[in-house]
Amino acid sequence: MKTKNTVISLLLVVILILPLAACGRKSSSKDKAPTASPTPLTLDLEPRITHVPITPMPGFSAPDPGCEIAFPTEERYHYDMDLTLDSVHRTVSGHVVLDFFNDSEDAWDKLCLRDYSSQFKDAATAGYSVFRFTTNGALTEITGVTDGRDNTALTITRDEDVSVVWVPLAKPLAPGENMRLTYDFTATIPTVKDRYGAQTGIFNVTNFYPILAEYADGEWSRYPYFQTGECFYSEIADYHVKLTVPSKYTVVSTGTETEKKTAGDTTVYTLDAPCVRDFVFCAGDTFGLATKEVEGVRVNVFYNKLLHTEAQTENACEKCFEAAEESFAAFGEAFGRYPYEELDIVLAEIEAGGMEYPNLVIITDWMFFTENPDELQFYSYEAQIIIAHEIGHQWFMGIVGSNSGEEPWLDESFASYTESVYNAYRVKMDHTPYYMSLTPHELTPGNDFPLNRGYFDFGNDETYVHAIYSLGAEVLNELEDILGEENFHAVIREYVRRNAFKNAETADFFEVLFSCCGTENAEINELLELAFDLP
């Protein structure tokens, strides 16, 4: 996710350092417009420091640039969901059949579901200031919970953190044992400009169903919800979804549409999403659509066709397609090709600069629709960087998962680093880069380090954003400077290969890094000791 407040504060000083294109708070554009029409900068892109690329350690190998990232053949979880969106009462309800297995060495005497929708029952639990927003959400109703092994009816309890739902099992689930869990739920969608909310006829329905939490290190993950960044953590699964909506509504979702049937006032969409960490959708009766084949991927841009002129939407779609094309080319070469059939870009009114989900990104729309021509060009550049950042998350959050609450740098720092990869690709193509730091961040002891700590360990959002989005990306750029671009991208491709469709930890990245450069490189060791809390 990328925050808007950080982006705009940097724009005001005309230093386009690092727009935070992931999850974050964003204030109204009319309060943040610059006093003068900004002009994009053309900057000297010579390396900050000249390094001689290292020679990789004997035995180090990595997939070739532009390699394929194949779906795993191993057994994985499966969600079968029959959902209904009630646009009048702002609810999404459904029946869920979850087939899963105990992949740990411990017997599970209880399960943990994460019910993030319930956080929006009031402003405080949703992570908002109670003085700025009212959320009018509600506690999710969860009923009919059943253990399919013997059709035992199960009860649920909640922690003080209402998103943590416990399901005690009458019979423990042994290591390696399979289980089917069924349940019904009804979640309320708040009227907020957010990644989860309804505004101007468009519903962003994300993190809405109770999802099985991740079991790691002997316990169920229950890291608290927060707004400023990605904070979700789950296993790869296949999704088969039937979604009923009002017939006048268009649906945008994770995965691909395989069938659409309209009967009277309702339409049923059948949607299949293989090998993803989550399922989300957006729906509305004012969506316009533009579609283009980009690097073998079907890219769909959805926008509110009632709010803007034809010329404005045409420009917005053109910029979205350009950003997607360049992102897929740059990231496919550096990290491995995007393995899914489709990517949806939804332009919507949200408080964050952008938000990433499997096969779908939500981008704040105001940057594309300012009426001042100079500002339009400038903010279109910024929006494309945000799109690149969110597409970068398809690799670092989507393909390679992590606990983004406890180790957010593996998620947001990597996604912010992809912005540099994106800009470097533009330079290679003789295109003007969209932004570049005028001076690198000074990496010094105590400079909001270490990176490898949880969101709440940073103390406040300002420190967290600076460390995870800016300094984290700078550390990765420094590693690239030391190793050389070719070697560092090889390290990342090998990191992706080893951890694709799994959840990685900081140690997993260092393991690959050291297999390339060894453990005796003084410059790298000095950088890592500065930026990380190492054992």
* Helix spans in 396-484 (H): 412-428, 461-465, 472-483
User: What mean pLDDT do residues 424-433 have?
Assistant: 83
Task: Write down the pLDDT at residue 168.
Answer: 98
- In 3D space, the residue among 355, 356, 204 whose CA is nearest the CA of residue 281 turns out to be 204
- Quick check: helix, strand or coil at residue 208? coil
Beta bridge partner(s), residue 298 = 293, 342
Instruction: Return the pLDDT at 200.
Output: 80
The yes-or-no verdict on residue 460 having pLDDT over 80 is yes
pLDDT of residue 55 exceeding 60, the answer is yes
Residues 95-115: what's their mean pLDDT?
A: 98
pLDDT above 70 for 8: no
Phi-psi region of 216 (alpha: psi -120 to 50; beta: other; left: phi over 0): beta
Grade residue 24 by pLDDT with cuts at 50, 70 and 90: very low
Percent of the chain whose predicted confidence (pLDDT) is above 90: 74
Per-residue pLDDT at 409: 98
Q: Residue 13 pLDDT more than 70?
A: no
Structure tokens, 92: 């999404």
pLDDT of residue 376: 73
pTM of the model: 0.91
Q: For 211, what's the count of Cα atoms within 13 Å in the CB-facing half-sphere? A: 25
Using alpha carbons only, give the angle 315, 319, 321 rounded to the nearest 5 degrees.
Answer: 115
Average pLDDT over residues 185-208: 93
For CA atoms 472, 478, 482, 484, give the dihedral sign.
positive
Q: Is the peptide bond before 172 cis (omega within 30 degrees of 0)?
A: no
Query: 3-class DSSP state for residue 377?
Result: helix
- Residues 6 or more apart whose Cβ sits within 8 Å of residue 294: 321, 324, 325, 328, 343
Residue 83 has pLDDT above 70, yes or no: yes
Determine the average pLDDT of the residues in 153-162. 97
pLDDT at 101 over 50: yes
Identify the weakest region by mean pLDDT among 127-131, 306-310, 462-466. Answer: 127-131
Same fold, 77-226 and 402-531: no
Strands (E), 224-341: 237-246, 250-253, 256-263, 266-276, 281-284, 287-294, 297-304
Residue 363 parent element (H or E): strand 360-364
pLDDT at 430 over 70: yes
State the average pLDDT over residues 122-147: 84
For residue 17, is pLDDT > 90? Answer: no
Q: What is the pLDDT of residue 199?
A: 85
Structure tokens at 509: 């990245």
Pick the CATH number of 402-531 from 1.10.530.10, 3.40.50.300, 1.10.390.10, 2.70.180.20: 1.10.390.10
Q: What are the tens digits of pLDDT across the range 115-126?
A: 999 999 988 888
The mean per-residue pLDDT over the stretch 475-486 comes to 96
Q: What is the pLDDT of residue 414?
A: 98
Task: Enumerate the H helices of 42-117 as residue ranges.
Answer: none
The count of residues in the chain is 535
Q: Is a pLDDT exceeding 60 seen at residue 54?
A: yes
In degrees and rounded to multiples of 5, residue 353 shows phi and psi of -65, -35
pLDDT band (50, 70, 90) for residue 250? very high
Look up the CATH superfamily of 4-25+288-394: Neutral Protease Domain 2 (1.10.390.10)
pLDDT at 497 over 80: yes
Domain ranges within the chain, ordered by starting residue:
4-25+288-394, 77-226, 402-531
Q: Name the burial class of residue 484, with classes exposed (0-12), middle (13-18) and buried (19+) by CB atoms within 10 angstroms of its CB.
A: middle
Prior bond to 535 cis, omega within 30?
no
At residue 109, the 3 state secondary structure works out as strand
Class of domain 77-226: mainly beta
**Nearest CA to 199 among 11, 333, 349?**
349
Q: What percent of the chain has pLDDT over 70?
A: 88
